[in-house]
Amino acid sequence: MLRFFLSRVATAVPAFFIIVALAFFLMRLAPGGPFDTERALDPEIAKNLRHIYRLDLPLMQQFWLYLQSLAHGELGPSLHWRDFTVSELFAKALPISAALGAKAMLVAIIAGTALGLVGAMSKVRIGPHAVDGAAIFGIVLPIFVVAPLLQLGLGLTLHVLPVGGWNDGAWQNQVLPVTTLALPQIAIVARLMQAALIDALAMPHIRTLRAFGMPGYHIYVHALRAAFAPVVSYLGLAAGNVLTGSVVVETIFGIPGMGRYFVDGALGRDYTLVMGTVIVVAAAVLLFNLIVDLILAWLDPRVRYDSRPR
């Protein structure tokens, strides 16, 4: 298992470096810079500002400086939020996005698995189709439609929850964003779970278990173990995205998370902020892929053995 772990880490490190380099140079290909705003600056002043932020240096030198500060764990000053460093911004925003995302993922796993189970176990023929239908509904409804509907229904009409705002993370303010984030994930997990479970229940070893007269729940435990593999693979990918914030959900509900920095950073050419978000997302995706690999290896020994050198 250790060898397996190390081999995965060994591929993740160069991947991370390539992502950082690509992001740095691609960002500079976009026309304009951080000081090109609606009200044009005096050319001399703009030149002075580029000098202050060292944007007048040759690109390779800027990249080298950036790598040096990155090696010290510094993400640099934000060019838009000029009173903060990127690390300071993330220190506030990342825990908020991660907490919301984690709650949404938990809800998705529990509700999705439960729905998938219900569909797969259903004795009536319509059962799986009903779950499938509901799930497709959940997948196709975009969150920018769901979020305002929830705001209108539960916030404005019934007055049971606040329409928006973070309010230092009061639970009332979290319910709608978590629900919005979780809904499409519930749908996907339910579909994956149901399909995998139906497949698993048809496998020869399950038939053998049935033939031995094992009690129902034992059979499902075995089937679930096999059925979890595709769900876990999917969740790894989804977690990297959900935990690092959703721009749509955060903008609609007014949540001070990471999501907004992606868009605002890119549109405003806030180079350091863009690099910071890329690094955070890349690290999250690589980390969750690694975790998924480890869980899959634990769930299915074949994965472990396959990675051994032959």
Partner 1 sequence: MSRKPGQHLGLFRLFFRVAAVCILAFGPGFPAKAGLAGSAAAKMVWHRGELGDPGSLDPHKATTLIESNILDELFEGLVTLDARGEIIPGVASSWTVDTGRTVYDFKLRSDAKWSNGDKVVPEDFVYAFRRLMAPATGAPYANILYTLKNAEKINKGELPVETLGVRAVDETTLEIALEQPAPYFVSQLAHMTAKPLHRKSIETFGSDFVRPAHMVTNGPFMLKEFTPNDRLVLIKNPFYFDSAHVALDEEIFYSLEDRSAAVRRFMAGEIQSYDDVPVEQIAFVRAHLAEAFKVTPNLGSYFYAFDTRHKPFDDRRVRQALSMVIDRQFLAERIWGGTMDPGYSFVPPGVETYGAPATVAWKDIDPYQREDEAKRLLAEAGFGPGGQKLEVEIRLNNSENHRATAVAIADMWKALGVGTRLLATDATTHYAFLRAKPPFDVARSGWFADYPDAQNFLFLGQSDNQALNVASFSNKNYDRLMHEAQVESSPERRRAILHEAEALLLDEQPFLVLLTYRSRNLVSPKLKGWEPNVLDNHPGRYLSILP
Q: Does 271 bind partner 1 (CB under 8 A)?
A: no
Q: Does 31 bind partner 1 (CB under 8 A)?
A: yes
CB 262 within 8 A of CB 278: no
Q: Does 162 bind partner 1 (CB under 8 A)?
A: yes
Dist CA 51 CA 33 (whole Å)? 13
Q: Kindly state the tokens that stand for 239.
A: 């977690």
Q: Does 135 bind partner 1 (CB under 8 A)?
A: no
Q: Kindly state the tokens that stand for 236.
A: 């790894």
DSSP-derived 3-state class of residue 77: strand
Q: Residue 17 CB, nearest distance to partner 1 (Å)?
A: 28
In this structure, what are the phi and psi dihedrals at residue 168, rounded to the nearest 5 degrees? 55, 30
Residue type, position 308, single letter: R
Q: Does 142 bind partner 1 (CB under 8 A)?
A: no
Q: 271-299 vs 86-121: helix axis angle to the nearest 10?
A: 30
- Nearer CB in complex with partner 1: 66/253: 253
Q: Does 170 bind partner 1 (CB under 8 A)?
A: yes
Q: Which stretch binds partner 1 (CB under 8 A): 12-20, 56-64, 254-262, 300-308?
A: 254-262
Number of residues that bind partner 1 (CB under 8 A): 72
Q: Does 204 bind partner 1 (CB under 8 A)?
A: no
Give the residue among 70, 8, 2 at the shortest CA–CA distance from 288. 8
Q: Does 156 bind partner 1 (CB under 8 A)?
A: yes
Dist CA 200 CA 204 (whole Å)? 9
Q: Residue 258 CB, nearest distance to partner 1 (Å)?
A: 10
- DSSP character at residue 203: S
DSSP-derived 3-state class of residue 85: strand
Q: Which stretch binds partner 1 (CB under 8 A): 8-16, 56-64, 144-152, 232-240?
A: 144-152
Dist CA 282 CA 276 (whole Å)? 10
Q: Which stretch binds partner 1 (CB under 8 A): 59-67, 88-96, 131-139, 233-241?
A: 88-96
CB 291 within 8 A of CB 284: no
- Nearer CB in complex with partner 1: 207/218: 218
Q: Residue 32 CB, nearest distance to partner 1 (Å)?
A: 3
Residues 213-242 touching partner 1, rule: CB under 8 A, are: 214, 217-218, 220-222, 224-225
- Nearer CB in complex with partner 1: 240/265: 265
